[in-house]
Structures are given as structure tokens and as C-alpha cells.
Amino acid sequence: MKGSMLRTLAGAAALALAAATAPTQANGPTDADLMNDAASTGDVLTYGMGPRAQRFSPLKAISTDNVAKLVPAFSASLGGEKQRGQEAQPIVYDGTIYVTGSYSRLFAFDARTGEEKWQYDARLPEGIMPCCDVVNRGAAIYGDKIIFATLDAHLVALNRETGKVIWNKKVADYQAGYSATAAPIIVKGKVIYGNSGGEFGIVGAVEARDVETGELVWRRPTIEGHMGSLNGKDNGITGKLNASWQGDLWKTGGGATWLGGTYDPETNLLYFGTGNPAPWNSHLRPGDNLYTSSTLAIDPDTGVIKWHFQTTPHDGWDFDGVNEFIPFDATINGKPMKLGAKADRNGYFFVLDRTNGKFIGAHKFVMQTTWANGFNAKGRPNYIDANRPGAPTAEKGTSVFASPSFLGGKNWMPMAYSQDTGLFYIPSNDWGMDIWNEPIAYKKGAAYLGAGFTIKPIAEDHIGALRAMDPKTGKIVWEYKNKAPLWGGVLTTAGNLVFTGTPEGYLKAFDAKTGQELWKFQTGSGVVGSPVTWEQDGEQYVAVMSGWGGAVPLWGGEVAKSFKDINQGGSLWVFKLAR
């Protein structure tokens, strides 16, 4: 008995010693690595190339002087018949490039040869209801895991070396209209993500799960009146019941968090945008409809909302507010400030104090905003009431022409901020829409719009425009106009370069200070992914996904007809300088 007990105690002591001396997790990126991603150059570990998602790289081996010598290192095909809407940003680690593909797939490619290491295809049910194509925007990496969301509202963790499932968690009911398309973020060992489905009367939420087990840590709904949770217990309702929603409308209020979030280590705050209120018909839901069309600052440890700012109160145009909120520092009127910026679907570029949400300014970054004429000192829009769609009677209400269109002055495609130039580079679009309201009632799993629309161009020479904006002044420093809409993300580097793609198939490089186009490459399909750059074997590489799709060909009306001949595709392109 004593010998057995001694062996047990010895074994326990050995396990304790091993635990004390072992790494904090399986080999792979740590929390510290993720927080340092913006400064590290040998990998790309987070969506946005750093927790703040500034999409700025300190690399400058590729510069304005030599970018014309950029050539393909390799291209890797996603294969199959699922060539549609490749909106992903690559993750790069330890000689492997990880990309998600349409229809909830995840691929691992050799970063030196392009050879496929493994592929994972989610088993999607037939009844999925994605509003805006079968896209996925990227994965998160941590330790031995690569994690992504699926169109049937699951979160899946795979072994990053084998592609085998470690855990698979249902996060919402796809039959009620929920889906998931955003890249998760990982903060303090928690994988944090949003949901999609605002067009189906769902309820938006931000959730955090233990990255090792997938178990839920906290949940924060984004519509007032809904209860949050922390470690399996109630953690207070969101907002105040019926403060800005009448009756039971809050129960199907929308506010999806479908673009994911950013994180600022300095303030220890997550920043998540929220989508449109449901239904689109604003006459059916009087009030500001919190917390839709807003930016929320959330405590990553508890899921408690610390502050909010609503960019389109009582949204009647489906402008959403999901666009990424990017932390940055600047000196304004001689005062150093901790700020954040957001280029909203509604056509205005917002600058806020990221510590408390105080409104600093809003600047128009598109050709026209017919729904409002600027913002007052308190951060409320100066509405143009005649340009709100009319209330429906038995059939449809009065139609109005609104600009931007509901696809936005900037949609999901992420902008970039250069720490060198102090400018934001915004992939924007100039278009409008005829929009009218219609009667609607909620039905589980059915579209819950109460509106009709037709999108139209408003300029003869372009729809898309890459614009460089000074956040301190609100002035547009330069712009590049593109005939087709811009629908891909932006990368900027210390080499004084800005990269973005076009639906016509080009990846392009511009001078970050002047906007001069310096290089382009035809990828064979529309580029709607987000480019990244990293250093490998002493050389700088640039990578982007190619594959036309997303919301424009599905919802774009007259605009979509103009670009119906763009070929679909599914490829990863990787570039480096010619020797």
C-alpha cells in the first residue's frame, strides 16, 4: 500500500514538474506571438496582420523602386467546381500558407512550392442560407490549431499539420438563417467571433470560446434586451429592454456581427461592428434600434460592452455598421490621442477616441451621401428626411434614390493604415440605388427585408475608388478610380506601397504617397481577397487570393449586369522579386 502510494505521489510530482517546465501550449503560435504579429515579418498570424488590423508591414525589400520587378513565385488552385467568391486573407506560419475557400473549405499549401499539404471540406447541409455568396474571409491560428467558421454556423478547429478535426462546435441554428463567414480572432486563449444572417431576423452576438476545448466562455448579444452569459451564468442583459425597440421587435432585431472584430492591447478592448436592424423597413421599428449599425467596445475577459457608437441610428438603407474599427495613434491640435477609425457603409469616415467612444469627427469619403448631410457635434447624422424610403401601405411605399447604395461606400473589404504616411487607404465605391419599403412579417428562416431595391452607377468613368484619407483632417489625399466596383482588401508597407485587387483580375501596387500605379498582374479571375506580405528565406513575398464573387454579382442590379462576364476562379497567387 505504501509503495503504491509512493509511486502515485512520485508520478504526480513528475507530472507537476513536466507541467511547470513544458510550453504553455502545443508548439505553434502563442498569445504573445499573435499580439506581436504587426512587428514580426516572418509570418502572418492574424486577420489584419496584427490585432489592431492596420494591415501595415514594416518590410521594405519590395519598394516603389523595384516593385515593377515583382513576378509570380507560384500559383495554387483550390480545384473542384466550387470556384466562387474567394474573399480570404492567407495565414502564413512555419513554411505553410493556410487559406479558406468558398463553401467552407480550408487548405494548407507549402509556402515555398505551392504544393497542397492537406484540404478540409466542411460537410454543409443543403439548407444553408448565406445572404451574400458562399464566402469565407479567413482563419485564425494558435498552437497546433487552425480555426475557421462555416456557412452552417459552426466553428471548427483543425490540427494545422494534418487537417484533422480537433473540435467542432455549433454556434447557431442555420435553419433560422444564421451563418458564419468572418475570420475569428484569438485573444488571451479565447477564440472570439461574430455571426451572420441579419437579413433573416436573427439576433447578432459576439462569442468567446476556449481555444483548446471549444467550450463557450462568454456570449454578448448585440440587440438590447437579450441576456449575456459568462462561464455558464447570466451576465446582464444588453442595454435596456425597450429603450430603443418597441414591443417584441427586439426579439428579431438583426444586428449581425458578420465581419468579425479587432483588438487593442493598450485599452484591452475588442471592437466589433454590428449590422443592419431587421427588417430593413424602418417604419416598422421606430427608435434608434440599439445596438445595430454601431461599433461596440467589449471587454475580452467578460463580454461586457464598455462603450458604443451608432453610425446610422434607425438605419433605413441597410447601411450596417460592421466595418472594421482600426486603432491608431495621432496628434490632433497638439494633443496626442488614442484613436480608432472606421469607413462606414453609409459613406462617412469616423474617427473616435478608442478609450471611451467619444466622437472626434466624421468625413465623407464617397461622391455623394443623399441620406444625410454630415454629422453634428454630438455625432448624430443630419438626416435628409425626404431621402428615407416611404412607409408602405397595402403594397410598396414611395421609392427614393439613395446614395451610397446598400452595398455601401465601403463594404466588408478591409482598409489599411500606414504608420509611415499616417494615411488610411480605403477601398470605396460610388453608386446609388432606388429603394422602397414593402409590408413584411417575421417568419423563421425566411428573408426579413420589407424592402426592394435596384443598384445603379452614379459616375460615367468608375464605380470603385481606392482613396487615401488623412484621418486628422478628413481630406482625401489621392484617389485611383476603377471601372468595376472594388471588393478586395488593402495592404500597405514600409516600402511606400499600397496593394489591392480589382474584379477585372488584377493585383495592383500603388505609390502610398501619390497614388501612382506602379505594377499590376492579371490573375485570371476577379481579386476580392486581402493581400498579405512576409519574409521567407531572405526574400519578401506577397500573396493574394483570386476568384470573383461575393455580393456584387448577386445583389448588384444594373451594376452586376455590367460585369457579368468576369470569370470565376479559385487560386492562391504568391509573388516575389525577379532575381
Question: What residue spans define the domains of the chain?
Answer: 27-577
Q: What is the pLDDT of residue 465?
A: 98
Whether the pLDDT of residue 520 is over 90: the answer is yes
Task: Flag the least confident range among 7-16, 61-70, 151-160, 398-407.
Answer: 7-16
Mean pLDDT of 445-464: 94
Q: Give me the pLDDT at residue 79, please.
A: 84
Q: Which three cell numbers stand for residue 178?
A: 444564421
Q: Would you give the DSSP letter of residue 226?
A: P
- Residue 2 binned pLDDT confidence (cut-offs 50, 70, 90): very low
Terminal CA-CA length for the chain: 72
The number of beta carbons lying within 10 Å of the beta carbon of residue 421 is 17
Binding site for pyrroloquinoline quinone, residues?
Answer: 87, 137, 181, 411-412
Q: Answer yes or no: is pLDDT of 517 > 80.
A: yes
Is the pLDDT at 239 greater than 60? The verdict is yes
Please tell me the distance from the alpha carbon of residue 576 to that of residue 579, in angstroms, as a whole number. Answer: 9
- pLDDT above 80 (res 24): no
Q: What are the distances in angstroms from CA 506 to CA 203, 429, 468? A: 38, 17, 19
Query: Where is the binding site, in residues?
Result: 87, 137, 181, 199, 276, 318, 411-412
Phi, psi angles (nearest 5°) of residue 198: -60, -25
Give the H or E element holding residue 551.
Answer: helix 551-555
At residue 15, does pLDDT exceed 90?
no
**Residue 473: is its pLDDT beyond 90?**
yes
Are 488 and 548 within 8 A, CB to CB?
A: no
Average pLDDT on 114-125 reads 96
CATH of domain 27-577: 2.140.10.10
Question: What's residue 10's pLDDT?
Answer: 37
CA angle (564, 568, 573) in 5-degree steps: 135
- Residues comprising the chain, all counted: 579
382 pLDDT above the threshold of 80:
yes
Q: Would you state the cell numbers that stand for residue 144, as one nine-digit string?
A: 497546433
Q: Are 411 and 429 in contact (CB under 8 A)?
A: yes
Taking 70 as the threshold, does the pLDDT of residue 142 lie above it? yes
Q: Above 60 in pLDDT, residue 452?
A: yes
List Cα–Cα distances, 262 to 25, 95, 268, 300, 498, in angstroms.
23, 26, 11, 11, 21
pLDDT(122) > 90: yes
Cell representation of residue 94 = 512555419
Backbone phi, psi, residue 554, to 5°:
-90, -40
Residue 4 has pLDDT above 80, yes or no: no
Set 315, 318, 320, 344: catalytic member: 318
Instruction: For residues 521-539, give the mean pLDDT.
Output: 97
Q: Which cell numbers in the block locate residue 475?
A: 481630406
Q: CA–CA separation, 399 vs 391, rounded Å?
A: 10
Assign 14 a pLDDT band (cuts: 50, 70, 90).
very low
CA dihedral (18, 22, 27, 30) in degrees, to 10, reads 140
State the Cα–Cα distance between residues 103 and 367, nearest whole angstrom: 35
User: Active site includes 318?
Assistant: yes
pLDDT at 20: 33
Task: Please give the model's pTM, rounded to 2 decimal places.
Answer: 0.94
Q: Which of 78, 182, 175 is nearest to 135 (CA)?
A: 182
Alpha carbon separation from 96 to 54, 116, 455 (Å, rounded) = 23, 9, 41
Strand pairing category for 227-230 and 216-221: antiparallel
State the pLDDT at residue 26.
53
**Do residues 253 and 247 make contact, with C-beta atoms less than 8 angstroms apart?**
no
User: Average pLDDT of the chain?
Assistant: 93
CA distance 407 to 71: 33
Angstrom distance (rounded) from CA 408 to CA 66: 35
Average pLDDT of the residues in 384-410: 94
Specify the pairing of strand 490-493 against strand 56-57. Answer: parallel
Q: pLDDT per residue over 293-313, tens digit each?
A: 999 999 999 999 999 999 999
User: Does the pLDDT value for residue 23 go beyond 60?
Assistant: no
Read off the pLDDT band of 18 (50, 70, 90). very low
Percent of the chain with pLDDT over 90: 88
pLDDT of residue 81: 73
Cα separation of 395 and 20, whole Å?
A: 69
Of 560 and 207, the structure prediction assigns the larger pLDDT to 207
For range 487-497, the mean pLDDT = 98
User: Cell digits for 519?
Assistant: 505594377
- Sign of the CA dihedral 155, 193, 321, 444? positive
The mean pLDDT value for 341-345 works out to 98
Percent of the chain with pLDDT over 70: 96
91 closest CA partner among 532, 418, 548, 576: 532
- Buried b / exposed e over 441-478, threshold 16 CB at 10 Å, is ebeebebbbbbbbbbbbbeeebbbbbbbbebbeeebbb
Lowest mean pLDDT among 410-419, 466-475, 554-563: 554-563
Among 38, 453, 512, CA closest to 281 = 453
Look at residue 130 in the predicted model and tell me its pLDDT. Answer: 87
Q: What is the pLDDT of residue 357?
A: 98
Name the band, by pLDDT with cuts 50, 70 and 90, for residue 441. very high
